């Protein structure tokens, strides 16, 4: 995610955890208190350790600081429930390599129901061209 965002000219700030650890809500909110972000992007599950990032409270924090929540679901889609609208995730993506044994070149995108509601956080100003 960092590499892709950087290629498109985004200013990227990272917070990192050692492999197998997940973020505490205070870490995420602390980073956003220092400087807000238009996009808060998380890897929901880490491949090598299987660490699953709990999402309780994270969408609320991202939206409180006027950011879109983007969720990388590559490792877990099809392995655990991914409740985009219930969790209030703005954008989620996955692929068909893990854990789906399908064509490797398919990319799956899903936007949450609230993404384009006028007046909601920074989300009302977002322009997106193509959704697969």
List the CATH code of the domain at 2-125: 3.40.640.10
Query: Above 60 in pLDDT, residue 93?
Result: yes
Q: Residue 108: pLDDT above 70?
A: no
Is the per-residue pLDDT at 43 higher than 80? yes
Instruction: Say whether pLDDT at 21 is over 60.
Output: yes
Pairing of strands 91-95, 68-72: parallel
Indicate if the pLDDT at residue 117 is higher than 70. no
pLDDT at residue 109, rounded to an integer? 61
What's the N-to-C CA distance of the chain in angstroms?
A: 18
Q: Per residue in 46-74, pLDDT tens? A: 878 888 999 999 999 999 999 989 998 88
Model confidence pTM above 0.85 = no
Strand order in the sheet with 39-43: 39-43, 68-72, 91-95, 107-111
């Amino acid at each position: 995610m960092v590499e892709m965002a950087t290629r498109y000219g985004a200013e990227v700030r990272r917070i990192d955890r050692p492999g197998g650890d997940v973020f505490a809500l205070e870490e995420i909110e602390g980073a956003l208190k220092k400087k807000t972000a238009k996009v808060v992007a998380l890897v929901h599950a880490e491949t090598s350790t299987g660490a699953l990032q709990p999402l309780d409270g994270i969408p609320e924090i991202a939206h409180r600081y006027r950011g879109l929540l983007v969720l990388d679901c590559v490792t877990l889609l099809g392995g655990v429930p991914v409740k985009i609208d219930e969790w209030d995730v703005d954008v989620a993506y996955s692929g068909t390599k893990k854990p789906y044994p399908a064509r490797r070149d398919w990319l799956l995108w899903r936007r949450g129901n609230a993404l384009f509601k006028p007046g909601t956080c920074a989300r009302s100003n977002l322009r997106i061209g193509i959704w697969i």
